[in-house]
Structure 1
Amino acid sequence: MAESATRGTLENLVDMLVRLPELADPAVRDHLVDRVRQELRRPLRIKRFADVRPELSSLVNACNACSGGLRVLASVVAEQHVGDIAAVRAAVTDLSPGLLSVPDRDHLRGLLANLPANQIGEAVDGLGGAEQLYSMRTWRDTANAIRIMEGLPIPEDGVPQVLAFASRLSELLTGPVSDGLRTWVDTVAGGLGVDLAALVVLRGGAGPLAVPSAFTPPAPRGPVPPRRSETRVVGGGVPTRNRHFTGRSELLDKLTDVLSSGEQAAVLPPALHGLGGVGKTQLVVEYVYRHLDDYELVWWIPAERTTTVLASLTQLAETLHLTVAEDRQQTARTVLDALAGLRVPWLLVYDNADDPDALKPFLPATGGHVIVTTRNPEWGAVGRPIEVDVFPRDESIQLLEGRGLQLKEGEAENLANKLGDLPLALEQAVLWCKSTAMPVTEYIDLLDSHRRSDLLSESKPYGYPITVTAFVTLASATLREKAPATAQLFELLSFLSGEPVSQNLLSRGKSANVTEPLRSTLNDPVALSRVVRDLNNRGLAKVDPAQRIQVHRLVQDILRDILPEDRAETTLRNAQRLLAAANPGDPDERGELESQAELGPHLDRARMIYAEDDDARVAVLDHARYLYLIGDYENSLRLATDAAAHWSKPSDDPLLGPDGLYTLRAASVRANALRVLGQASEAQIVANDTYNRMCASPQIGEMHEFTLIHANQVGHDLRIAGRYNEALAFDTASLARHRRVFNATEAYTLRAQANLAVDLRMIGDFAQAFEQDKEIANHWEDVGGTDPRALAAYINQARNYYGMGAYRAGLEWIQQWREPLAEALGAGSSQVLLADRTYAILLRKLGYLFEARAVLREHFERSLSRFGETHEFTNAAAVSYANVLRQVGELDEAAQLIEDALERYDVYFGVKHPLTLAARVNQGILMRAMGDYDDARVLGESCFTDFAEVLGASHPYTICAGVSRATDLAIAGDHAAAVQLSEEMHQISQQMSGGGHEARNGAEHPYLLMRGINLAHDLRAVGRTADADRLRQTSFRALRDSLGANHPEVQAIERDERTEGDIEPPPT
């Protein structure tokens, strides 16, 4: 292994970095240092200089002293530099071919000195390709032994074997050497690309960030342990530290006191509130950097909208390797539960929060520290408020005098007075004077000459000087005169969200019909970059290293207020057209989800619902659909509801009004969101009304593409209502219409075909459903076998296998595709949850009862947590869980589950709904298991009668109810009636599902064979012994061959017991 780079070669690398233009900017260098520290996760001892070269030289030398430091430096530089840095990467490769730096290797060598050979040997055991290290002769030269370990192949988990050795050795030892080895591993891991989760696994889950499982109860709470030397901070989105931060000592101390007071589990989030621009965010950023050593985890959350909060918490879940659900609100709850169980200090910052009621569900209640920055004083009722006012005058003067301005006596005082000591205004004034070389005296004169009298709107706090408005007015007027394109972009940004706007979004909107010269600027990447740079240089906007541009909210508010009405209307229209043009289109094409995420924060601010252009309305509809697809059902519902309410007002536009296409499309999205949120009745009303209006409209009609797409919801609602044959008829006709309008293999047609397959399952025609799903799966497999739509078809095939009694084939099939589905959609997806239940049902039917019980218990808890107790999915989960509990003998809990589920089924679905009746059949089976034969007989008679009325005599559920009824009759001693009913059910079963099937390897359906066993009992009871023996022998032999001799049902038959045919409620 080569040693750390020589002085001359390091200086060559410094020369290359100095030539990169971005690094001439001190702010970019600040960000560079912060990012390198973040990646290395260790102290980086560098000296800061005003000049570029000595500062970069200090950074290079510091990185060279860290294992992997130069490689990390090159990687971070590549993030910030738009050009080719191949020369830098090549230099780094030449300079650091080894794994460890010299200081890190020497440190490890010192820790290993004089350790017993047996302990070193035990730690070496298990390293791959380490035969040479088994010889103690190798360890006579410890440095050489370490180099050998550095050269060992890196395993699949990405943890270099020298780290695995040191970690294992630390567990074998105690005392200072053990602590030193753990610290060493934590120190070098970041530079070698080993993430925190890998370290937790390396230590068997005992590391400082061992996060509890998303679906197991958190460990008992205890006091946060003292911080250990080997811990490190996980930073998520923390802004770059302001190297010119001034003053605020009293507020920093107060914030520290508030966070440190009282029990950690009971501390309430403090709220930093006040007018935008007073420096709330800067204060918290400074607090974070001063207290990095106090926390294991720091996460920064943009909190103006719940969608950005949910997105940030989803990223935190991914960082902590928690389950990421399709539903982001469920993911947020998972994160908060995990944080409550962490026994390490953490800090969450919710920046620029607005509505306390909207955000409260996403605030941790216990376990760590929370800071909220806000302009809304209502947060004072949530946590202990800390009022952040403008600067004291002496701190304003300190800021101005420390920024290199050529100040004459009294000018700092005068300028601070003119700007009302507002930190944002002071910072902008400094940047303006420096970027334009304008003397401070001249700047003060301009402020006086441009003073205006209009205050901010009354919804904003009073008491701040008028000069803040004058400052923005001056900037806007100057730009209009000298840089009109910059002025137009500046004004347009004031009508977007205060969140950063990517240049990618601006570029995607280049086709928008906006006013000149902005239109030409958007179509010229060089000109656009120049305008963005101009705003940044003038202090009117912030541009981060990712080239996202952000105008401070205060500046946005003031600018919108001061624009003349006609100019404001034009600018708002420009913003709406830009966003409409930037809409990536159909969100069902998953490759565009990131672009949709960029668009979302700006829709409300730009009043897109109220825009006059059709493209803007389409953008709203696409984004509402996007929110539904990513599991943010609540915000999808909000956006679609608001859009439908506004667009439904009377209008001359045929696309608007109660029957306009856009109004009805918004209602369609609304119905989808209502349904998945458990409001099925309202969803059905909205969906039916929307469909009827579409069909009746002369402009739309039943053959319109969007009518057909929406029709899938009508069939779904019929299934939810238990009207299975009506759903089948409707969806059959709908599929035929799809095939006339779309191609047979278009996604919309295949979606309609999938709905038809569900209908076929609901009426018990599993073989035909299997053929439909197979055809769908074959198409998506040609497109890409891991497409979520292909995976959904595969899972449906497993459900068909179950219905056909091909339990083993179904289990093998779902085991093959269950994990890829979870990887594609996230473990919390509703589709994944339903697949888990199918998996557990197949386990149960094959006799793996205790494995099925574990899966179903978790599935029931997750369904209850996500959907609530009244949702169809939750009730189905309760019934499935009760079925397996009955089979393993936990009868009391099973009875309570069934009873609770039936109460909800009766209220929300109706007493004669098929799912209600199915649960009652299962309840009757459970009653017999508990010896309650009389009540079971009464219940069984009504279930059989009702099922025959609702679904018909030959439906599989009616047959199950009839078989159960025959058992009740046999127990009551009415053997003549029992044998008559058993023969009837056996005969219908033979007609419906009799005969060998290739999916069952030629065997009969297990339920048919089990009904043969029951019929044999009844035949024997009426004296038909020969018939009984013959039927029992053939049925038992076939069932044993199909299910196996150790299957619980087979063993029960050997004990001469009757069989039970329970019902599993199907997904609709």
Structure 2
Amino acid sequence: MSPEASGERSVAAGWIGTAVTGDVIGLPAEILNAARDVQAPPGLTNLPPPPLCLGREAELARLHEVGDTAIMQASTVHGLGGIGKTTLALAYAHRYRHAYGVVWWINADSPTRIEQSLAELTRRLLLGLTADRDRVAWAMAWLQWHPGWLLVFDNVEAVADLSPYLGALGGGRHLVTSRRAVGWPRSMRTLALGILDAEQAVELIRATAYGDAELTVRELQDLRALAAELGYLPLALDQAGAYLRQNPTVTVAAYHRRLPTKLDKAADGLDAERTIARIWTQTLDALTVRDPRAVELLRTLAWLAPDEVPVGLLEADGVDPDELAEALGHLAAYSMATVTRDTVGVHRLVQQVLRVNAPAGRREAEQAVVRALDGLDPEAGEWDSLIPQLIALAESRPVGHDDGAVTDLYRRAGWRLDTQGRLARATALLEAVLAQREQSLGELHPDTLATRNNLACAYRAAGDLGRAVPLSEAVLAQCERVFGELHPHTLTSRNNLADAYQLAGDLGRAVPLWETVLGQCEQVLGELHPDTLLIRSNLACVYQTAADPGRAVPLLETVLAQRERVLGELHRDTLTSWQYLADAYRAAGDPGRAVSLLETVLAWRERVLGELHPDTLGTRDSLAGALRAAGDPGRAVPLSETVLAQREQVLGELHPQTLTSRNNLACAYLSSGDAGRAVLLFELVLAQREQVLSALHPHTLLSRGNLAQSYAEAGDPARAVPLLEAVLAQREQVLGEQHPDTLISRQGLASACAMTGRPDRAVPLLEAVAAQYERTLGGTHPTTVAVRNHLARARREAGTG
């Protein structure tokens, strides 16, 4: 039965694939016939020059997938302004331009601009039409007659703007870019574009700013820090690279320091309207028209953590939950926020732009956090989810700002992080508390001094020794002035400064300072006071760090005997002394003795403290390391796996001790010959330590060195060499030339150089290491002998020995 239609301008058909209704522009038959007969010149295109598009191979492949030919061939790339949608579409169009008869780029931010772009296609194909309206109609007719084209609609603001084209033009391919994440026809494929990964981001800035020029390790570090601050956002990375290229006297570090003032500056050759700040301003203008509440909400979110802000935090009294949900929906629709059922996230660079342009949002954010934490127990789980919000507020605290309402929350959050072994995350919190106490109590008030001391400890935990050491020195001088030379607070400060010197590799100052502290504790507290015994134990450990077992072992034996006499055989501190002594035996080259002693200590700790006490887990980890050093991977690997699982259960995934166990398990895999599993685990530990500690924390440097070694042992020494060079330079910078860890890096680099056929590079490195070990360990120490043998082999291979 045939369909019927009635009424003015009605349409009837037996089958309709896509129907477009509305006004139709009429053209003379001869002109429409020309649309059928005119052939495009080969390779007709109006594409802008090809862009630098790094790290998007997977996305390009997805765009090129061939879909069901029975439906419209259309794809939408959506995402945050500056995420690289235009770059991806342009790279795709250039890469596959030969697969299409015509490739036409359309500026699609308004209906008028779309029509102008289509009119230009007519001008390129046909002479004689003068009205843009006629040119658009002719271009549409031409595209209908000639399949096999690609139309790229760039920067679509409203889905409805494409309706006249997507439905009417079915003989080719449509590629759309838009900030809009929702509202697209179901038949369209959508691709949500994310940020680049860290290495691709660094490469984009480097290639844009410096081309093929060689960069120093420090310059690469600065690029990594800048890329992280830019949130790995392609347009921001490109903008930064272009600025650095145009201003070669500006260093990466200087650009980073002045970043908020640079987000609206375009270098020559870049579109001034395509800076990060201006693109997002345009989005905010559109959002303000659509939903002003969404913009207000975004200005509050700008001052909170960039990821996983609890939705409940935004639920103030008097706020309609449905209105809040709609506002969040509009932010997600414009790709200005990532919204789930429970959390919200905003790109950190969006936050920076908003903080500069809308500082009033900070007060709303502060009130939201205070309201959410009101009356909560600091040990409750809710506190942990809100600590990142307090950190964000502390980090953005304006100079001189009165944080009285939240200072106590900062202090309690810092305490909470300290009890979790995550003091490194508390630096911004303690900085805010210190500023408030200096302002309200004065520079030398005991509470101010205590906070300053805690902040120095946090810097030390974070590996920020450039700030930890001078602050510890200042605290000691102030305690001496306020309390006197021998007050317990002063002795604690002196101990903390010695600890900072040790971590910084400055053993020349750490050892005599600890010896001084020990003498003062003996004078004030007595030879056998528990605090005196603790300082004596610390001094023995620093002797061990200095690779001086001749002084470390006897002093640890003395401390053990004294603790047994004063505290008892099974006291917690006595058991700690047993473990330290076992670790010293292992470091002195006697792992068999260490294993025997640690097995005894482990049995005692299991009996006294329990299977899962942190001290018990520490002994179990030390025993696994001693077994590994004794050449018994069959026992070391399963024990390391057990310790890691137990620490994950008791302490959590990212606790520093858990990361230590994960590192040690990777070492066990490596020593057992399973380099493949070792590499994967070392890569994970490195990423986690960079997140929890810092890029230059000694433990992070250890993980980076271990990863490089695992590359070498996995048969990829060429990949190991540049990483080892970076670690060596970083350890020389952070720890000093002669620190034991620096020597290990120098030796590892020498081994990798020899493996890559460069024994000439290995020889001078090994000569320096051998000389240092002979001075510190002696000529007969197993480590010294091993390095000397390695040096002799390298000399033979280099033809110099």
TM-score range, shorter chain: 0.3 to 0.5
- Kindly name which structure, 1 or 2, has the bigger radius of gyration based on alpha carbons: 1
TM-score (norm 2): 0.46
TM-score (norm 1): 0.36
